[in-house]
Amino acid sequence: MLTLYQFPFSHFCEKVCWALDAKQQPYRVVNLLPALHLLWSKRLARETCLPILCDGPYIVQDSSAIIDYLDLRWPQYGLTPVAEAQARRAREWEHWLGEEIGVPLRLWFYSHVLRQRQYAMAFLLRGASRGQGLVFQALFGLIRHAMFYKMRINPQSAVAALPQLERALDTLQAALQGRDYLVGDAFSRADLTAASLLWPMLPWHGDETAMQACLPEVIRQWRQGFTQRPLYGWLQRTYRLHRPVSCIQP
């Protein structure tokens, strides 16, 4: 059986979970926690990052590489367009979305969440076992420092991340104006990437009220503005139509 090693709170890991569900293949999830995941990733793959997919002797790391592998393994449920030009465009979107939305959203989001233990625990311990939670809480100070270092979070980078994210959201929204999909007339890895990287803006903890209580005030205020964008409506529709199996309730 396929095994996915992931952070259950990561939008890049949600991207792979979505792709796996689209392939309609059974798979096992191993939920790990930041810093503690090194015990697994260093044994499995060349880099330390998650997600990592294991399929028997084959080990694939990185969300884009995993989608490539899944499309090769199960082409009947393809996420990459068949036409060469559209396939190239879908991969271009995927790369751009990762760099311009995935990375700055993660940086800005964690720069606020990690500074307050109650919010960090609500988000980072999603899917964690009781034992993992106890260890994580005991080591939280060290783990937070490691996450700041790994993601290069500092006051300057956090301030710069939000304008970059806003510009990217404007670009994505303009590209989707009057359209349902980013490439052609069908759902592809480009749309999957855009939606999954924005999933932290959906109600990931119960209903809207419960989720709001898990966010710092600065994120709640920004998210309130984001929900007024047409892009948020696209995000909700995309999850509703193309993500029937999900750990969140859009």
Answer yes or no: do 37 and 154 share one domain.
no
* Contact criterion met (CB below 8 Å) for 35 and 43: no
Answer yes or no: do 61 and 178 share one domain.
no
User: Is the model's pLDDT at 189 over the cut of 70?
Assistant: yes
pTM: 0.91
CATH number at residue 63: 3.40.30.10
Answer yes or no: do 203 and 132 share one domain.
yes
Residue 250 included in any domain: no
Residue 107 included in any domain: yes
**Cβ within 8 Å of residue 134, ≥6 positions away:** none
Q: Cα dihedral angle (131, 9, 35, 140), rounded to 10 degrees? A: -60
Answer yes or no: do 10 and 89 share one domain.
no
Average pLDDT over residues 34-50: 84
| Residue closest to 169 by CA, chosen among 194, 203, 138, 148 | 194
For 92-128, the pLDDT digits (tens) are: 999 999 999 999 999 999 999 998 888 888 888 877 7
Range(s) of the domain holding residue 11: 2-73
Average pLDDT over residues 9-31: 92
Q: How many CB atoms lie within 10 A of CB 138?
A: 10
For 159-170, the pLDDT digits (tens) are: 999 999 999 999
Distances (CA, A) of 138 to 32, 84, 117: 16, 51, 12
Identify the three-state secondary structure at position 121: helix
Answer yes or no: do 48 and 91 share one domain.
no
Could you give the number of structural domains in the chain?
Answer: 2
Asked which of 27, 50, 73 is the last residue of a domain, the reply is: 73
